[in-house]
């Protein structure tokens, strides 16, 4: 049996049993599809506006042909790349995809510049195909918004796992794409350069919990959960 590669996302992560495809039933104008990519089973998400078929891809860490095949299968028009943070399994394919399709890269926060600069070294360390550094078309800051078609998502800066980590909140469908801040039953690692455990806890408690217990979050690895469930039972932040 081959040894599993170490995860760079959370304290313990679980791969998805199958790709998720959960269009919103309450507000059908914003949809998403999540598909695990790379050996780390990182949850790369397509988000699109049903009215315009304009789409953004969140965290294209690799396996770009799979991502583009899904775009084509759904008849979407890929227009943007959004990044939660710049670890290799989330940002490793961003530079190549942007170059191939002339797409803008939005995010993360400037605090992750050093991680972007180090993408080639991250590739070598974790056995990924060579990744190229890039300069985001637009850096993101707390309180910013991003738009795809007619739909707007809200940006919150959530440092801790990395200093420049952001999340994308879609209140119209009660969803939040949280990268490696929070997982079902776990939280993001903070033992990498410039990680900070207290910053991570503060990000979860002060930025995520106020989005509401019913908000479903899409983590960077493993299954979806709700903020309410994690607030009650997560061993790292339960009861906060």
- pLDDT tens for 59-111 read 999 999 999 999 999 999 999 999 999 999 999 999 999 999 999 999 999 99
Q: What is the mean pLDDT of residues 22-49?
A: 84
Of 12 and 224, more confident: 224
- Give the pLDDT confidence score for residue 133 in this predicted structure: 87
User: Distance between CA atoms of 186 and 93, rounded to whole angstroms?
Assistant: 26
The pLDDT of 204-233, averaged and rounded, is 98
- What is the model's pLDDT at position 238? 80
Pairing of strands 42-49, 54-58: antiparallel
Write the class of the CATH domain 30-233.
alpha beta
Domain ranges in the chain? 30-233
Q: What is the mean pLDDT of residues 113-124?
A: 96
State percent of the chain over pLDDT 90.
Answer: 85
- Output the CA angle 237-213-173, nearest 5 degrees: 125
Average of per-residue pLDDT across 178-206: 98
The structure tokens listed for 85 are: 């943070």
Determine how β-strand 77-82 pairs with β-strand 54-58.
parallel
Residue 1 pLDDT greater than 60, yes or no: no
Q: What is the mean pLDDT of the chain?
A: 91
Angle at which helices 64-73 and 94-101 cross, to 10°: 50
Residue 28's pLDDT band, with cuts at 50, 70 and 90, is low
Distance, in Å, from the CA atom of 105 to the CA atom of 107, rounded to the nearest integer, reads 7
Residues in a beta bridge with 10: 188
Residue 95: what pLDDT? 98
């Amino acid at each position: 049996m081959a040894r599993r590669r170490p995860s760079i996302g959370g304290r313990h992560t679980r791969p998805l049993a199958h790709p998720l495809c959960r269009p919103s039933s309450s507000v059908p104008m914003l949809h998403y599809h999540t598909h695990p990519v790379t050996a780390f089973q990182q949850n790369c998400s397509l988000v699109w506006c049903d009215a315009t078929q304009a789409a953004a891809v969140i965290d294209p860490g690799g396996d770009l042909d799979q991502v583009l095949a899904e775009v084509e299968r759904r008849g979407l028009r890929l227009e943007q790349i959004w990044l939660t943070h710049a670890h290799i399994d989330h940002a490793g394919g961003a530079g190549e995809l942007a170059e191939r399709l002339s797409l803008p890269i939005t995010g993360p926060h400037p605090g992750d510049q050093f991680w972007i600069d180090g993408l080639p070294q991250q590739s070598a360390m974790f056995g990924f195909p060579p990744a190229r550094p890039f300069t985001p078309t637009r850096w993101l800051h707390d309180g910013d918004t991003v738009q795809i078609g007619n739909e707007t998502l809200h940006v919150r800066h959530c440092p801790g796992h990395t200093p420049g980590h952001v999340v994308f909140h879609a209140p119209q469908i009660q969803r939040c794409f949280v990268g490696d801040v929070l997982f079902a039953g776990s939280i993001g690692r903070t033992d990498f350069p410039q990680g900070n455990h207290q910053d991570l806890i503060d990000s979860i408690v002060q930025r995520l919990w106020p989005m509401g217990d019913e908000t479903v979050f899409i983590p960077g690895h493993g299954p979806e959960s709700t903020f309410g469930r994690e607030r009650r039972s997560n061993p790292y932040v339960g009861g906060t």
